[in-house]
Amino acid sequence: MKVRITNWHPVAYWHWDVRDPDDVCGICQNYFDGVCGACKEPGDACPLEAMGQD
């Protein structure tokens, strides 16, 4: 029996490994698992995310 994969959509999840869940970023004072100040919810349209792409 042969199997042919036609589509593949991998899904992953990650988070910061911080000891104290109330730790915040020293620059922006947001939680590490939070979103930037310009966003209401995480996603690919984040302006900080777009800055890293050329």
How do residues 5-42 score in pLDDT, each as one tens digit?
A: 999 999 988 777 777 767 887 877 777 777 777 777 76
Q: Look at the chain and report how many structural domains it folds into.
A: 1
Give the list of residues 6+ apart from residue 8 with CB closer than 8 angstroms, or none: none
The predicted pLDDT at position 47 comes to 64
Asked if residue 20 is part of any domain, the answer here is yes
Residue of 34, 28, 3 whose CA lies nearest to 16: 34
Asked if residue 1 is part of any domain, the answer here is no
Asked if residue 3 is part of any domain, the answer here is no
How far, CA to CA in Å, does 44 sit from each of 8, 18, 22, 53? Answer: 20, 24, 25, 11
Domain residues for the domain of 36 are 8-54
Asked if residue 2 is part of any domain, the answer here is no
Dist CA 42 CA 18 (whole Å): 19
Q: State pTM to two decimals.
A: 0.39
The predicted pLDDT at position 35 comes to 73
pLDDT above 70: residue 52: no
